[in-house]
Amino acid sequence: MTVPILKNYVQGKWFEGRGGLVDIASAVTGETVAKTSSAGVDFKGVLDYARHVGGPALRKLTFHERAYILKDLAKAITDKKEDLYKLSTETGATRKDGWIDIEGGAGTLYSMSSKGRRELPDDVILIDGAPETISREGTFVGQHVYTSRHGVAVLIDAFNFPVWGMLEKLSTALLAGMPAIVKPATQTAYLTEAAVRIMIETGRLPEGALQLVVGSVGDLFDHLIGQDVVSFTGSASTALKLKSHPRVLSEGVRFIAEQDSLNASILGPDAGPDTPEFDLFIKEVVREMTVKAGQKCTAIRRAFVPAALMDAAEAALKARLSKITIGDPALEDARMGALVSAAQCKDVREKIRELAGEARIVHGDIEDVEVIGARAKKDAFISPVLLRCDDPWGAKKVHEVEAFGPVSTLMPYRDLDDAIALADRGEGSLVMSVFTYDGDIARQVVLGAGAFHGRIIVINRDCAKESTGHGSPLPVLVHGGPGRAGGGEELGGVRGVKHYMQRTALQGSPDVISKIVRSWTRGAKTDAGAPHPFRLKFGELELGKTIETAPRTITLEDIEHFAHFTGDTFYAHMDEAAAKANPFFPGRVAHGYLILSFAAGLFVDPAPGPVLANYGLDDLRFLTPVSPGDSIKVRLTAKSKKKRNDDYGEVRWDVSVTNQKGEPVASYDLLTMNAI
């Protein structure tokens, strides 16, 4: 069988490296499954193509248009997933491992697509927070915004998640409007290449939005500029080399690093052997050791238990680990597959030997392993290895050395403070788990360890069944960690998109700011002329369109009627003396909800029309009490619009209710659904 030669996808074409081909071996059989090279790629040309072709094309699209592209890419990957699973097996991954990578990758695209459509505007500027009042008269305001960076996202991935690793970065970069150059780890580049092919073949990506380099990045770093972002996942040593590249330093290139991590798990002091939390902890440690043969940046490397439970925990872990069958990941019976390569396996063995200077191996054999499947050549297989270190304060390496395989060290702690201090000796990690049924213990852990961990997962009997597990980063939650973990952050929904954008503080008149951000700002011009804004369809409604109502006086009878009608007879509305004794009220006052209801009665235009439904209120504040005899009036102004589909869109209205003295009574955003 001829061995395929992987191709780079650069400057709009598939390009085979000119010589210098590197063999990539199957983790399972050791045979060459692909050859690759990036020799001959014009890296400056690749960057220029992204900057001058991909960037402008992406920046023309709104967040929603980009989000729809992500959805189509996710669909294409899902449709062709079986092709990817086949290749994934050669990386040593079982079907379950492959699921995390392939379907987890597509899921990340779907999720970011949906976040993009729900939480980002159908525009190219993202508003960050409310306008800031920075002048007495309100003629000069401040507003933070994000716009797409005019550079390239250079996405460098580790070998362990060739699909997910690419897509978690790509989804946020594309959504932000930044073109990407993907550089997978050579060892598993054939799977990334296949996934990129699927995405390119959809025809949905604008020209230049995605390029692929399968092999070395040559002199690419020498041509980076300050608008670029490098997002790197891999070892601490490579991260250090790349982030201290002279060009990265001199140009101020944004660098996001996700690297090694000595993630910890703590069995709470309340979780004795007879509790569900003890069993959950044992299951999770074993799962984290064996999923993806432990080649997960988030895997539990250090497991801490109360000193008195060391023997019980060791026995329970060993009992479970002994049931793990190892072998050809294509076989259903194989619970754990291979490490990615014989070299990686050798490295893991060496790291275990280092750890074994401070800890005892209590399960597993690093010299030999029993594997199932005729195809499986033993070189890249290793059994799960559990170490036990009874003196975690005397030890150093167990907190520093990451054996990137099915390896974990069990350690005792004296009390909760000791457990927290030990967990923090990892000096920064991606995730920590705590198994406790006690919320106070969990809070103490978060206070003591939050600063050291990018994610903390608390697992107990109530949530275990639905828990996504210690080791699974989710698109909606941030992934990354301080210190040793690289100090980077990715994903977290829209948070992850912002890493590829620039935040700018705008200052100017309300009118100009409103025009820039396409959202009416208080103080900007309004149009209070006919017709009533509720008579205008979504497409006809201009921002700033306003209605200013006539006043309405609120009587004591109104307040009493409302109180008895709704059942809200709270004393502040009903009892003059008690209301007066309250520090906020001069006497009996109108209900806040009465004010809202009367406000609606004042501004609503009742006949059927383009306004289809009231969708809710945001940022509601009651500012001045309304006493019987006071009168209120309302100003309602179209603030922003978001198309939902071909039939209707969401209109956000700025509402200000004032009293007869012009004092603010209530302020809120009203949301309506309006016909297109």
The answer to whether 433 and 455 are in contact (CB under 8 A) is no
- Do residues 38 and 213 make contact, with C-beta atoms less than 8 angstroms apart? yes
Site stretch for ligand NAP (CB under 6 A), options 257-265, 315-323, 506-514, 640-648: 257-265
Residue of 8, 62, 171, 259 interacting with ligand NAP (CB under 6 A) = 259
Residue 29 or 259 having the CB closest to ligand NAP: 259
Element (H, E) at 612: strand 611-622
Contacting residue, 11, 78, 202, 238, with ligand NAP by CB under 6 A = 238
Q: How far is the CB of 221 from ligand NAP (least distance, A)?
A: 7
Min CB(578)–ligand NAP separation in Å: 59
Question: Pairing relation of β-strands 22-25 and 32-36?
Answer: antiparallel
Residue 430 interacting with ligand NAP (CB under 6 A): yes
* Cα–Cα distance for residue pair 11/402, rounded to 1 Å: 38
Core vs surface per residue 206-240: b (16+ CB within 10 A) or e:
bebbbbbbbbbbbebbebbeebbbbbbbbeeebbe
Minimum Å gap between C-beta 160 and ligand NAP is 5
Strand partners, 336: 326
**Residue where the block lists tokens 């440690």:** 285
Checking 349-353 for CB contacts under 8 A at 24+ apart, the result is 349/382, 351/401, 351/402, 351/403, 351/404, 351/405, 351/407, 352/385, 352/387, 352/403, 352/407
- 38, 217 in Cβ contact below 8 A? yes
186 forms part of the interface with ligand NAP (CB under 6 A): yes
614 neighbors 589 (Cβ within 8 angstroms): no
| Choice from 217, 342, 476, 512 touching ligand NAP (CB under 6 A) | 217
Q: How far is the CB of 669 from ligand NAP (least distance, A)?
A: 38
User: Taking contact as CB under 6 A, which single stretch among the options 259-267, 273-281, 305-313, 527-535 is the one that binds ligand NAP?
Assistant: 259-267
Roughly how many angstroms between the first and final C-alpha of the chain, as a whole number? 58
213 lies in the site for ligand NAP, by CB under 6 A: no
What pairs with residue 654 in β-bridges? Answer: 637, 669
HSE, CB side, 13 Å, CA atoms: give it for residue 405: 28
Given the residues 258, 288, 314, 358, the one annotated as active site: 258
Neighbours of 454 (CB within 10 A): 28
Residue 338 in contact with residue 373, Cβ under 8 Å? no
- Please give the full DSSP string across 201-237, using - where no structure is assigned: HTS-SPTTSEEE--S--TTGGGG--TT-EEEEES-HH
Integer Cα distance of 611 and 675 in angstroms: 6
DSSP 362: E
Point out which span in 141-149, 256-264, 570-578, 633-641 binds ligand NAP (CB under 6 A). 256-264
Least Å distance between CB 233 and ligand NAP? 4
Residue 172 binds ligand NAP (CB under 6 A): no
Nearest to 400 by CA among 551, 264, 544: 264
65 is catalytic: no
Q: Which residue, among 489, 351, 484, 356, has the nearest Cα to 425 in the 3D structure?
A: 484
Q: Which residue, 156 or 199, is less far from ligand NAP as judged by CB?
A: 156
Residue 630 interacting with ligand NAP (CB under 6 A): no
Report residue 648 CA to chain centroid gap: 29
Cα angle, residue 556 at apex, residues 554 and 560 outer, rounded to 5°: 110
Candidate list 152, 153, 158, 494; residue touching ligand NAP; CB under 6 A = 158
Shorter beta-carbon distance to ligand NAP: residue 186 or 519: 186
Question: Among residues 90, 284, 297, 490, which one is catalytic?
Answer: 297
Q: Does 156 bind ligand NAP (CB under 6 A)?
A: yes
Residues in 577-616 at the binding interface with ligand NAP, rule: CB under 6 A: none
d(CA 283, CA 319): 11
| Residue in 89, 192, 211, 233 binding ligand NAP, rule: CB under 6 A | 233
Interaction between residue 402 and ligand NAP (CB under 6 A): yes
Q: What are phi and psi of 339, to 5 degrees?
A: -75, 170
Specify the stretch interacting with ligand NAP by CB under 6 A; choose among 178-186, 285-293, 305-313, 349-357: 178-186
Closest distance to ligand NAP from the beta carbon of 489 (Å)? 10
Least separation in angstroms between CB 511 and ligand NAP: 45
Q: Supply the minimum distance, in Å, between the C-beta of residue 328 and ligand NAP.
A: 23
Instruction: Identify the residue among 90, 193, 258, 630 touching ligand NAP (CB under 6 A).
Output: 258
Q: Is residue 160 a contact residue for ligand NAP (CB under 6 A)?
A: yes
Q: Which of 9, 110, 190, 404 binds ligand NAP (CB under 6 A)?
A: 404
Stretch that binds ligand NAP, among 62-70, 183-191, 266-274, 648-656 (CB under 6 A): 183-191
**Is 153 an interacting residue with respect to ligand NAP (CB under 6 A)?**
no
CB closer to ligand NAP, 351 vs 377: 351
Contact window for ligand NAP (CB under 6 A) among 236-244, 529-537, 608-616, 654-662: 236-244
Shorter beta-carbon distance to ligand NAP: residue 259 or 409? 259
The rounded distance, in Å, linking the Cα atoms of 646 and 69 is 18
User: Is residue 654 close enough to count as binding ligand NAP by CB under 6 A?
Assistant: no
| Residue 277 structure tokens | 């939390």
Question: Given the rule CB under 6 A, which of 25-33, 95-103, 152-160, 598-606 is the region that contacts ligand NAP?
Answer: 152-160
CA 147/CA 149 separation, integer angstroms: 6
Among 59, 115, 149, 183, binds ligand NAP (CB under 6 A): 183
Print the binding letters for residues 464-493 with ligand NAP: x by CB under 6 A, - otherwise: ---------------------xx-------
Residues 277-336 touching ligand NAP, rule: CB under 6 A, are: 297
User: Are 591 and 558 a contacting pair, CB within 8 Å?
Assistant: no
Distance from C-alpha of 234 to C-alpha of 259, rounded to nearest angstrom: 5
Q: Does 376 bind ligand NAP (CB under 6 A)?
A: no
Active site residue 560: no
Interaction with ligand NAP in 434-463: which residues (CB under 6 A)?
none
Q: Does 341 bind ligand NAP (CB under 6 A)?
A: no
157 near ligand NAP, rule: CB under 6 A: yes
CB closer to ligand NAP, 244 vs 507: 244
Exactly one of 70, 185, 194, 651 binds ligand NAP (CB under 6 A); which one? 185
324 touches 293 (CB < 8 A): no
Count residues binding ligand NAP (CB under 6 A): 27
The catalytic residue positions are: 258, 297
Interacting residues with ligand NAP (CB under 6 A): 156-160, 183-187, 217, 233-235, 238, 241-242, 258-261, 297, 402, 404, 430, 485-486
